[in-house]
């Protein structure tokens, strides 16, 4: 057969038939696309009759050229499909829907023509089928690339706008302009979260790339954060930790205990999904008070970690004593001096710390791997040296405060949140 001879279907060159009846085929494809794809049915009428119809017509015209020349589209020819896909990305139409529309177009065209195929035209039908598959094989990645490039640009723009807004808020600057650029309306208040992730087991495995494991942990955490969020969330996170601003529908002064359940549960779920323990300090404030709230949240986080609190979410009320004892004062030295007689005796100090935390001689013995009688002996020794009885309710508060003061002085009086390695944004604003 002559390779330059036109493909014939129903006794007529196929490319001529397609070109001559282009408006009818365009209308047929548009009807089938809107019938089979719900996302296209809800597009504005002017979009369907304008841009979408134009894309269908141009696609059919390009396929007619392929049939006439027997040559698949060039890179230059494919640019149209990339640009069209970018517009669909701007409109928010899912990528799978966009790709499906192209396949539907070829299916509709094929279904409308093949009933007229004559026996002597079967060879042409097979050749055209091969060209159609090749056409889709080139168009599909071009459409996908155009779509994803636009989505990445949109994401970068949105991310940049949110980052600018986050920076303004945590630095105490006016955020109105940045909020407008991000397309966000400022909520009455934010839950301001400063957090630290523990390492995931994979990050310490000798046969696993720690950086990859850390990024995977972070990706899971971000996905869970977005799943829980009631609106756009501002965050700056690394595998080690970071900050999150969660929008709240109430002013900070009107928040009740029930309102705090949501951020606590959300942060617990993030920890579970990330597969790593998480410790967080949380405060609440209106947009103008985010910088001050972040300073408090960081200090609460630092206190929780410094005083050996278990992983979890902490507000200022949860660490009031430890927080106050982390402030420089004359009382701090006096409190720490209560335990000076125990200095150099780590057994007694460890026993006291464990007993006050566990509130029981047997649990203390179990944790320290000693006999309960040994715990009793050490507690009596502490009483002899300090004059304070860890089993007497009236002395417990003073001993706990003395331990906290001693820990504060041994670590230094300045509060420095454990944010080593984080961005300048995390270090700013407090």
Q: What is the pLDDT of residues 334-362, one digit of tens each?
A: 888 888 899 889 999 999 988 988 768 88
- Do residues 115 and 234 share a domain? no
Residues 241 and 195 sit within 8 Å (Cβ to Cβ): yes
Nearest to 62 by CA among 73, 49, 52, 48: 73
Q: Convert the pLDDT of each residue in 134-156 to its tens digit.
A: 999 999 999 999 888 887 776 66
Largest CA distance in the chain: 112
pLDDT averaged over every residue in the chain: 84
- Asked whether residue 271 is domain-assigned, the answer is no
Vertex 234: Cα angle to 233 and 236 (nearest 5): 130
Helices (H), 12-121: 14-20, 22-36, 38-41, 45-47, 53-69, 75-91, 95-113
- Asked whether residue 420 is domain-assigned, the answer is no
- Asked whether residue 299 is domain-assigned, the answer is yes
- Do residues 355 and 241 share a domain? no
Query: Cα–Cα distance between 291 and 69 in angstroms, integer?
Result: 66
Q: Which two tokens stand for residue 257?
A: 């205990």
Q: Convert the pLDDT of each residue in 220-275 to its tens digit.
A: 998 898 887 766 678 889 999 999 999 888 899 999 989 999 989 999 999 999 99
DSSP state letter for 192: E
- Do residues 369 and 395 share a domain? yes
- Do residues 18 and 85 share a domain? yes
- Asked whether residue 132 is domain-assigned, the answer is yes
Q: What pLDDT, on the 0 to 100 scale, is given for residue 426?
A: 40
- Do residues 105 and 243 share a domain? no
- Do residues 14 and 60 share a domain? yes
Domain residues for 407?
Answer: 330-411
- Do residues 337 and 302 share a domain? no
Q: What pLDDT, on the 0 to 100 scale, is given for residue 155?
A: 65
State the CATH number of the domain containing residue 21: 1.10.490
Query: Cα–Cα distance between 202 and 212 in angstroms, integer?
Result: 9
- Do residues 13 and 125 share a domain? yes
Among 272, 295, 325, the domain boundary falls at 325
Q: Convert the pLDDT of each residue in 188-199 to its tens digit.
A: 899 999 999 999
Query: Which segments within 258-309 are labelled E, that is strand?
Result: 278-285
Query: Cα–Cα distance between 334 and 148 in angstroms, integer?
Result: 64
- Do residues 29 and 133 share a domain? yes
- Asked whether residue 221 is domain-assigned, the answer is yes
- Do residues 406 and 361 share a domain? yes
pTM, to two decimals: 0.56
Query: Cα–Cα distance between 408 and 302 in angstroms, integer?
Result: 11
Type and span of the H or E element at 205 = none
- Asked whether residue 266 is domain-assigned, the answer is no
pLDDT of 313 strictly over 90: yes
Q: Convert the pLDDT of each residue in 38-70 to its tens digit.
A: 888 887 788 888 888 888 999 999 999 998 999
- 122 pLDDT tier (thresholds 50, 70, 90): confident
- Asked whether residue 268 is domain-assigned, the answer is no
- Asked whether residue 117 is domain-assigned, the answer is yes
pLDDT of 71 strictly over 50: yes
Among 109, 132, 154, the domain boundary falls at 154
- Do residues 29 and 145 share a domain? yes
Structural domains in the chain (count): 3
pLDDT of 423 strictly over 80: no
Among 304, 325, 346, the domain boundary falls at 325
- Do residues 220 and 244 share a domain? yes
Query: Cα–Cα distance between 174 and 165 in angstroms, integer?
Result: 9
Parallel/antiparallel/unpaired status of strands 312-314 and 278-285: parallel
Q: What pLDDT, on the 0 to 100 scale, is given for residue 152?
A: 75
């Amino acid at each position: 057969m002559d390779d330059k001879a036109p493909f014939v279907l129903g006794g007529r060159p196929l490319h001529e038939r397609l070109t001559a009846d282009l408006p009818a085929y365009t209308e047929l494809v548009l009807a089938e696309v809107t019938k089979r794809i719900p996302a296209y049915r809800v597009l504005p009428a002017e979009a369907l009759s304008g841009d979408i119809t134009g894309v269908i017509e141009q696609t059919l015209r390009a396929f007619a050229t392929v049939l006439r020349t027997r040559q698949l589209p060039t890179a230059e020819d494919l640019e149209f499909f990339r640009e069209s896909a970018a517009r669909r990305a701007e409109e928010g139409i899912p990528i799978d829907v966009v790709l499906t529309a192209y396949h539907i177009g070829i299916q509709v065209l094929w279904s409308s023509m093949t009933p007229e195929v004559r026996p002597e035209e079967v060879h042409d039908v097979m050749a055209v089928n091969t060209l159609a598959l090749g056409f889709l094989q080139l168009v599909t990645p071009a459409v996908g690339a155009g779509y994803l490039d636009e989505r990445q640009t949109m994401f970068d723009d949105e991310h940049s706008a949110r980052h600018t807004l986050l920076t303004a808020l945590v630095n105490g600057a006016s955020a109105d302009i940045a909020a407008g650029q991000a397309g966000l309306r400022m909520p009455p208040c934010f839950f301001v979260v400063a957090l630290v992730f523990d390492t995931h087991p994979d990050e310490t495995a000798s046969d696993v790339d720690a950086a990859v494991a850390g990024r995977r942990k972070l990706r899971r955490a971000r996905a869970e954060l977005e799943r829980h969020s009631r609106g756009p969330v501002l965050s700056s996170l690394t595998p080690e930790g970071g900050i999150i601003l969660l929008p709240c529908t109430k002013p900070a002064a009107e928040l009740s205990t029930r309102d705090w359940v949501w951020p606590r549960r959300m942060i617990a779920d993030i920890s579970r999904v990330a597969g790593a323990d998480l410790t967080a300090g949380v405060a609440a404030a209106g947009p103008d008070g985010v910088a001050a709230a972040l300073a408090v949240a960081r200090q609460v986080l630092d206190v929780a970690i410094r005083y050996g609190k278990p992983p979890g979410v902490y507000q200022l009320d949860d660490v009031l004593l430890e927080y106050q004892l982390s402030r420089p004062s004359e009382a701090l030295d006096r409190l720490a001096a209560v335990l000076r007689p125990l200095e150099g005796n780590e057994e007694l100090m460890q026993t006291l710390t464990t007993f006050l935390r566990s509130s029981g001689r047997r649990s203390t013995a179990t944790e320290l791997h000693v006999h309960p009688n040994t715990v009793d002996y050490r507690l009596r020794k502490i009483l002899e040296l300090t004059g304070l009885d860890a089993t007497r309710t009236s002395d417990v508060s003073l001993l706990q405060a003395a331990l906290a003061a001693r820990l504060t002085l041994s670590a230094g009086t300045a509060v420095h949140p454990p944010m080593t390695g984080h961005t300048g944004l995390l270090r700013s604003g407090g």
